[in-house]
Structure 1
Amino acid sequence: MTTHHDKVNQQFGQQANAYLTSKVHAQGADLEYLASFLTNYPNAEFLDMGCGAGHVSFIAAKQVKHVTAYDLSEQMLAVVEQTADERNLKNITTVQGYAEHQPFDDNYFDIVVSRYSAHHWQDVGKSLRELHRITKPNGKLIIMDVVSPGQPVLDIWLQTIEALRDTSHVRDYTPGEWLTFLSEAGFTIDKIQRHRLPLIFDSWIKRMRTPNNLVDAIRIYQISASQDTKSYFELQSDGSFTSDMMIIETQKVI
């Protein structure tokens, strides 16, 4: 029987190198923010939670003492190891595992960052409680992810095209849902930033190798959207659109 974790591993293992070269993942205001933020933490033990192809890890490795790149996909971790070696980044260690079951000691990491990973987690609440457990008192957790605008019509549209494109997608949560999840896990909110994330349809689809029949379904669904929906997501004639993403900076105070 195929589990959700099997589906995530299958979906992303096949596209590991595509994520390394993806402009959406390799650049952005969130990575610029992270590079600036980490200048104050040269001695940090750092966790890249759901590291994917390692873009966060590579930035952090130049700033902090040690980086643990953690992901479900063996193929993604192999890409991280190879790229780190090519870039002579010797302070990155890769570890395979689930978000819901962290193999690390209590109070181990100074900084934990998750970028474009949490919308695939099977159980966000359990995952955040685990991240709280392994973060040091006064340590930082930073979530960077696509978020839903919350309004029901817009929310349904976003979740539908995401799920059609990627069968491992669980949910793009609203900002309000994130604040609740994080507070319930024991984190306090320090700072929130909102950005708009343009997505080029062709590369967005190819990155996940979405089957043609599902690509067709996405385009039909896009074309049938209301004008308000098309305006909010800045939907283009070629299917490209713009999503919301947030950077949520939190702290473990206990």
Structure 2
Amino acid sequence: MTVTHDERVVREFSKQAPGFADPGRNVAFTRHLDRLVRFMEPELDLEDVVLEVAAGTGLVSRAIAPRVRHATALDLTPAMLAEGKRGADHAGLTNVTFTHGDATALPYLDRSFTLVVTRFSLHQVADPKAVVQEMVRVSRPGAALIIADLVRPDGLDGDPDRIERLRDPSHGTTLTESQIAEFVTAAGAEVKRTERFDHVRPLDPWLEFSQTPDDVAAQIRRELEDELAGGPATGMRPSRTDGVLHFTHSYLFQQSIAE
């Protein structure tokens, strides 16, 4: 039986859901959360009605909840939403709603939200352009749109998506900064400011978090080691520090305004 991309996403993220609720295990997602909130700070308002698209456990919604009127965290994976709801309840947050839904067909009327955000989702979905179009559609004129995602640097050698899919079969396509900007502009919003930075990550915790099978993890490790020895480029920009194998991700924070 053919498995759809959405089914892969739900399967993989159901496995990963407990880790998203644990800052000790999900270092990459939680480490840059404060940085994203600072990036969003100029846009936050106590009257904002916020939508977080493909929200996972709603980390962003929960982080900004004390500074906005209401936040809705929408995601395709029920296990992720359940983890987020538990976290919100534990923190005493009463203005965050968790909703099951498809980011490419948001269940909201046009112009419903004053701030729309998505974090680490465009590289995961099958149709990132449709997600951006939907984000703009449900934004009120003048609303801020925030996209935070993994991006592919221009001129990168190798195919990082192949390694990413080996590690996590639900991975889609890593876009460039210019591709994301094109999607935003075509959907009817204007890019106002961006921030980009690299993050060097140890390989083994990344593989353990996604519960990558041992044989596949060994293949990924071998390919990165081969590149360091002069072999073919993987696109993962491997390095070794104190004997530990690392790789590099590039991240983009982008703020746009809906027209």
Q: Could you tell me the TM-score, scaled by structure 2's length? A: 0.90
CA distance in 2, matches of 1:110, 1:200: 38
CA distance in 2, matches of 1:133, 1:192: 21
**Residue of structure 2 in register with 1:219 after alignment:** 221
Q: Which letter maps to 1:33? A: R
Following TM superposition, by how much is the alpha carbon of 1:34 offset from its aligned partner in structure 2, in angstroms?
Answer: 4.3
Following TM superposition, by how much is the alpha carbon of 1:74 offset from its aligned partner in structure 2, in angstroms?
Answer: 0.2
**Residue of structure 2 in register with 1:18 after alignment:** 19
Indicate whether 1:36 and 2:41 are aligned: yes
- Of 150, 164, 167, 1:165 maps to 167
Of 82-91 and 208-217, deviating more is 208-217
Q: Which letter maps to 1:137? A: P
Sort the Cα spacing of 1:231 and 1:183 in 2 relative to 1 into closer, same or farther, 3 A: closer
3-state secondary structure, aligned to 1:224: helix
Following TM superposition, by how much is the alpha carbon of 1:198 offset from its aligned partner in structure 2, in angstroms?
Answer: 2.6
Sort the Cα spacing of 1:231 and 1:133 in 2 relative to 1 into closer, same or farther, 3 A: closer
Following TM superposition, by how much is the alpha carbon of 1:219 offset from its aligned partner in structure 2, in angstroms?
Answer: 1.1
CA distance in 2, matches of 1:181, 1:35: 20
CA contact (8 A) 2:207 2:217 kept: yes
For residues 197-223 of structure 1, the C-alpha deviation after alignment (integer angstroms, 9 at most, x for no partner) is: 232222211111111111011112112
**Residue of structure 2 in register with 1:9 after alignment:** 10
Indicate whether 1:77 and 2:81 are aligned: yes
CA contact (8 A) 1:35 1:59 kept: no
Following TM superposition, by how much is the alpha carbon of 1:234 offset from its aligned partner in structure 2, in angstroms?
Answer: 5.1
CA distance in 2, matches of 1:132, 1:68: 16
CA contact (8 A) 1:197 1:244 kept: yes
Q: Percent identity?
A: 27
Following TM superposition, by how much is the alpha carbon of 1:54 offset from its aligned partner in structure 2, in angstroms?
Answer: 2.1
For residues 158-199 of structure 1, the C-alpha deviation after alignment (integer angstroms, 9 at most, x for no partner) is: 212211111000111111111111111111100010111232
**Residue of structure 2 in register with 1:195 after alignment:** 197
Of 214-223 and 194-203, deviating more is 194-203
3-state secondary structure, aligned to 1:249: strand
CA distance in 2, matches of 1:239, 1:230: 14
**Residue of structure 1 in register with 2:56 after alignment:** 52
Following TM superposition, by how much is the alpha carbon of 1:35 offset from its aligned partner in structure 2, in angstroms?
Answer: 5.9
Describe how 1:177-192 pairs up with structure 2 within 5 A. 177-192=179-194
For residues 84-119 of structure 1, the C-alpha deviation after alignment (integer angstroms, 9 at most, x for no partner) is: 000000101011111111001110011111111111
CA distance in 1, matches of 2:244, 2:55: 30
Q: Which letter maps to 1:247? A: F
Sort the Cα spacing of 1:213 and 1:231 in 2 relative to 1 into closer, same or farther, 3 A: closer
Of 2-11 and 53-62, deviating more is 53-62
CA contact (8 A) 1:146 1:244 kept: yes
Following TM superposition, by how much is the alpha carbon of 1:30 offset from its aligned partner in structure 2, in angstroms?
Answer: 3.1
Following TM superposition, by how much is the alpha carbon of 1:138 offset from its aligned partner in structure 2, in angstroms?
Answer: 0.7
Of 239-248 and 69-78, deviating more is 239-248
Higher helix share: 1
Indicate whether 1:129 and 2:133 are aligned: yes
- Of 223, 239, 249, 1:243 maps to 249
- Of 191, 203, 206, 1:204 maps to 206
Q: Which letter maps to 1:20? A: A
CA contact (8 A) 2:37 2:64 kept: no
Unaligned runs of 5+ in 1: none
Following TM superposition, by how much is the alpha carbon of 1:52 offset from its aligned partner in structure 2, in angstroms?
Answer: 1.3
3-state secondary structure, aligned to 1:95: strand
**Residue of structure 2 in register with 1:64 after alignment:** 68
Give structure 1 regions of 4+ aligned residues with deviation exceeding 6 angstroms.
Answer: none
CA distance in 2, matches of 1:200, 1:54: 25
Indicate whether 1:96 and 2:100 are aligned: yes
Following TM superposition, by how much is the alpha carbon of 1:63 offset from its aligned partner in structure 2, in angstroms?
Answer: 0.9
CA distance in 2, matches of 1:88, 1:58: 10
Q: Which letter maps to 2:252? A: M
